Each structure stands twice: as C-alpha cells, then as structure tokens.
Amino acid sequence: MMGSGGSRRFICVLLSILSLVCLSTGFTPVDNYLIDCGSLTNTTVGNRVFVADNSASNFLSTPKNTFANTSISVTSGVDSPLYQTARIFDAISKYTFLINQPGRHWIRLYFYPFVSGSYNMSSASFGVSTPNYALLSNFSVKASVVKEFSVNVTSKNLVITFTPSGNSFAFLNALEVVSVPDELITDDAETFNPVGRFKGLTWQALETVHRVNMGGPTVSFESDTLGRTWVPEQSFLIQNNLAINVSNIAAVKYVVGGATQDSAPNAVYGTASRMNSDSNPNSNFNVTWEFNVQPGFQYLVRFHFCDIVSRNLNELYFDVYVDSWLVAENVDPSSIANALAVAFYMDFVTAATVSNKLRVSIGPTNTITGAYPNAILNGLEIMKMNNSLGSLSGPAPAVSNSTSKKNVGVIVGLSIGAIILAVLAGIFFMFCRKRRRLARQGHSKMWIPFSISGGNSRTMGSKYSNGTATSLDYNLGYRIPFAAVQDATNILPGDPEENSTNMIGELSPQINNFSHSDNSVSASQFEASSVDGLSGVSMSRVFSQLVKSEGR
C-alpha cells in the first residue's frame, strides 16, 4: 500500500506528465508553409520541416533563378542550416500561397547576408509587400535576423512581393506563412493618450518589434506553441539592481477568460522580474525597461502577468506605466480568477510615437493602505501597427513597371481632363456673360435704314465708350465705316462698358462717300430715319454679326 509520501510523489509526476502533454498539444495551423530558400533538400528544424526550394517552385514567380550557399555556421541553434542557403531576386518576384483558412497569418522572413559570387548580400536593398501592406521598404541587413509580421488575410491567396531598390537586388534565406489563432489578437485594446479604447486591431498589420521573457532565459520557438522566440530582458532593463528574477513554472494556471498557452508558454508566465524591495517596506521606485522603436507609428504593447510571488490572495498591488503615462492602477493579479498564479495579459495601444525610445515600467501603488511595495512583470510584446498608408516601414514599393505606368497614365489623364473642364467652364461663363451684355445692348441700339443702288439694307450702328460707331450691310455683305458720331446723347456715368449701351435719342451719322462701284457714296444719298418699321433682319443675326465685328 502506497504511503502519503508516495502518493504525493505520484501526484507530482502525474501533474508533470499532464503539463508536458498540454504543452505538446498546442495550436495546429491550417495553413503551414515552410520554405528553405536556396536549399536543394528539406531541412528539419525541431519538429518542423522546411521544404527544399525546388519543391516550392510552384509558389514563386520570378524571371531568374539564382541560388546561393555558404558553409558558415551562423547560429548555435537548430535553425542554423536555414541561414546557409538563400535565393536571390534580381527583379520583382512574387510568392503566391493558397489560403485555406482566412484570418490572421504569420509571415516570418529569415535573413542572413553573406557573399556568394558577385552578390554581397549585406549591400542588398529591397522592399517586401503584400497587396494591402508594405512590410519592408529599402531594407538592408547586416546580421542574421527574423522579421516577423502578422496580417489578416481575407482573400483566397496571399501574395508576397520582393522588389529590389533601384539597381540593387533582394534575397531571402527562409520563409514561413502560418495560420494564427483567431483569439490571439482581439479587435480592441485600451488607450491612454487619450484614455479610451482602440477598435479595429483585427485589420491591422503588425510587426513584432520586441518579445521579451522577464526574469528568465531565452524561450526558443521549439518551446512555444506558435513558433515564437522570447529573448531575455537584460539588454533592456535599466538599473539591474532594482529587479530580482523569480521562477515557479509549475505554479502557472490557465483559466477560462484568461491567457492560454498560445498567448505565451509556461516558461514565460512561470518566470518574472519583481521589485527588489524585500529589505525596505518603504521602497518607492519603478522597475523600467527601454526599447528602440521607429517614430511615427502606433504600437500594440502587451503585458503578460502571473502572480508567482504571493502567498495569499489580494497581497500584491502595483501600477503599470508606458513612458510617463499611468496605464493601469492598483493591478491585483489574484482578482482575475480569485486565485494565485493565474496567467493573463493586458493590451494597450500607444499614440503615434515621437521618440525612438519607448519605456515600460512597473511600480508600487500608493492608494492601497497596508500594501507592501512590490510589482512584477512576466513577459512583454511590442508590436508596430501599420500607418494610414498601410505601411509598416515607409511608402509601399512599386509592385510592377506596368502598374507604375498605369498610375502615371491615370494621373496625366486626370490632369488633362481637369484642364479641359476648366476651359469649358470658362467658355460657358464668358458666353453667358456676353449674352447678358448683348441683351442689355438690344434696348439701346439705333437703327439706320438706307438704300444702296436701289437695294434695301438694314444697318445697325452702336456707340461705344471709344466714341466710334460701326455698321454692317447684311444684304450686300459690305462693312460700312462711319465717322465719329457727334450728336450722341447723354451717357450715364458709372462703368464705361455698361454705359456704352445706354444711349438715348437719335444719332446723326456723317457718312463718308461710298458707291456701289468704288466703295464711295455721297452722304446726301443717305438719310437718317426713324427706327420704327424695321423688318427683314432677325435679332439673332444682328447679335451674331455684332459679336463677329466687335470681337467681344
């Protein structure tokens, strides 16, 4: 019969086994594309297999196939082989992946620059984009790096485009396109500048800028259900003497409504940095971490908490800061599920950053009487959000030459159309103005009928501000010049152009000699007559001829 000590040992072993089972049964992605670019064989990394480049050639559209390889061992980890081969893109190239489950997907790009033939990859400059987002712009790399993005894919295909900058080229060592659990990134988060809620995270493209395990070592992608890597905090922590590392991985609990192992692994929630306040109950300082960020972007900041330090409920209270802003006050981790060591996280969205540094801090609360000064942080993620242009790294690169030409054509066409529209509008305006002016002139013209060689002719004379008059012979088609009109009646004061049409009384024209044969005739052959009884000339013809003769 097993004693009490044996029973306890059995229970501990059973719990350990169950914990390992839970750890190994994480999220299974529907879409899971892993490619070892430039490699001629498959590469196994942990429990994942990156397929050879030629096996993934059906996903790629490129004008030229250029492979590169090196014998240099880049890292000490199991992923080192991924960095020893690469595919080079001398021109715009595209990967197209069939998406079986719409939603958020990881896009992980592996880079390590080395020299292969005439290609020095450390001098490469290029952009990477999807149809809706610019992920990288004018990107260059000097050391091994994994650039991790997550985007919400709603179409049947995800297209990733590599665009060399100018006369440069692009390259890639390995590539991942993997489904993300829907609940990992919720649609909203708290804001603090101003205070409120940010909605629409579902449609944001995110770039993982920092992912840190506080109080513990590196957590590799092999120990994370979503293939993430968590780095230690030492290079970010300001004043190391203010913090103490603690660890109690076995105590971590996941409850409904809290975090899951997909949120962060046990190794993150089971370690923490806490205030070094044991020897001083009057301690009043903050533990602070500082991170490099790119100004001009908003960031999603996720704090991971799990109270693995308290012995009793409602014993730990603390405040949380982003830069100088108090974002969470009197945080009591045990209140989440009325239990200790419950894993949970808090999300905050910053305003567009001005500085290239972002600080996060934890510190004691000053509003809870009797609370011992202490604070903890288990993990932290900082994710850059795309800007209003859909970019995570500046303007989006041109997708293709044809697209660029189309855009130029559209711009030129719109410009020409706008100019034509403006000209037409101007002509219409002048036409309407002329019609109103001529309509006013129609009430002040003096008609002078006269006969030339027995023919009937209707001639119109009008006096303008320059003191001259003109006449038109409509039947014969002759233009008949008039001398200055000396007997013009009063002209109203005011605008010269408007007054030129306000004539009252009769005109006594002095006509130069004019004949049918020599274009000269005696003035005695003509007599001024009354304007009554005019006929034979339509008003529209008069207006037309007036406009032509005056050029107005």
Higher pLDDT, 88 or 484: 88
Does the pLDDT of residue 3 top 70, yes or no?
A: no
Higher pLDDT, 267 or 414: 267
Q: Is 184 exposed, middle or buried (0-12, 13-18, 19+ CB in 10 A)?
A: middle
Separation CA 83–CA 518 (nearest Å):
102
CA torsion sign, 181 to 187 to 193 to 195?
negative
Closest CA to 161 of 397, 454, 504, 425: 397
Please state, rounded to an integer, the average pLDDT across all residues of the chain: 79
Q: How many CA atoms lie within 13 A of 76 on its CB side?
A: 0
pLDDT value for 279: 86
Separation CA 397–CA 133 (nearest Å):
10
Closest CA to 456 of 407, 529, 405: 529
- In contact, 160 and 107? CB cutoff 8 Å: yes
pLDDT value for 27: 87
Higher pLDDT, 533 or 254: 254
Lowest average pLDDT, out of 20-24, 70-74, 219-223, 262-266, goes to 20-24
Which residues, 6 or more positions from 241, have their beta carbon under 8 angstroms from its beta carbon? Answer: 276
pLDDT value for 463: 34
Residue 61: pLDDT band with limits 50, 70, 90: very high
- String of DSSP letters for 513-549: P--TTTS---GGG-----STT--S--HHHHHHHHHHH
Closest CA to 180 of 102, 260, 106, 96: 106
- String of DSSP letters for 64-79: --EEEE------SSTT
pLDDT value for 73: 84
Query: If you average pLDDT over residues 191-204, what whole number do you get?
Result: 96
pLDDT value for 77: 82
Closest CA to 165 of 142, 184, 139, 145: 139
Lowest average pLDDT, out of 296-305, 361-370, 420-429, goes to 420-429
CA dihedral 55, 49, 392, 122 (to 10 degrees): -70
Higher pLDDT, 257 or 273: 273
Residue 258: pLDDT band with limits 50, 70, 90: very high
pLDDT value for 274: 97
Closest CA to 37 of 187, 229, 177: 177
Cα 221 to Cα 47, 211, 363, 381: the distances in Å are 10, 12, 31, 15
Does the pLDDT of residue 253 top 80, yes or no?
A: yes
Lowest average pLDDT, out of 2-11, 285-294, 346-355, goes to 2-11
208-217 tens-digit pLDDT: 999 999 999 9
The SS3 assignment for 28 reads: coil
Lowest average pLDDT, out of 132-136, 187-191, 277-281, 485-489, goes to 485-489
Q: How many CA atoms lie within 13 A of 262 on its CB side?
A: 12
381-432 tens-digit pLDDT: 999 999 999 999 965 444 444 444 444 454 545 666 667 777 677 776 676 6
Residue 253 per-residue DSSP state = B
SS in 3 state form for 306-360?
Answer: CCCCCCCCCCCCEEEEECCEEEEEEECHHHCCCCCCECEEEEEECCCCCCCEEEE
Does the pLDDT of residue 446 top 80, yes or no?
A: no
pLDDT value for 20: 39
Does the pLDDT of residue 202 top 70, yes or no?
A: yes
Lowest average pLDDT, out of 147-151, 304-308, 471-475, goes to 471-475
Query: If you average pLDDT over residues 436-458, what whole number do you get?
Result: 47
% of the chain at pLDDT higher than 90:
64
Closest CA to 169 of 113, 130, 109: 113
pLDDT value for 7: 47
Does the pLDDT of residue 477 top 50, yes or no?
A: no
Separation CA 329–CA 309 (nearest Å):
19
The SS3 assignment for 550 reads: helix
% of the chain at pLDDT higher than 70:
68
Structure tokens at 210: 């920092």
109-164 tens-digit pLDDT: 999 999 999 999 999 999 999 999 999 999 999 999 999 999 999 999 999 999 99
CA torsion sign, 2 to 6 to 10 to 15?
positive
Does the pLDDT of residue 52 top 80, yes or no?
A: yes
Separation CA 188–CA 312 (nearest Å):
32
500-532 tens-digit pLDDT: 333 333 334 443 444 444 444 443 443 444 344
Q: Which residues pair with 289 in a beta bridge?
A: 237, 360
Phi, psi (rounded to 5 degrees) for 544: -60, -45
pLDDT value for 426: 73
Which residues, 6 or more positions from 353, have their beta carbon under 8 angstroms from its beta carbon? Answer: 293, 294, 295, 296, 297, 298, 299
Structure tokens at 443: 């009430």
Does the pLDDT of residue 541 top 60, yes or no?
A: no
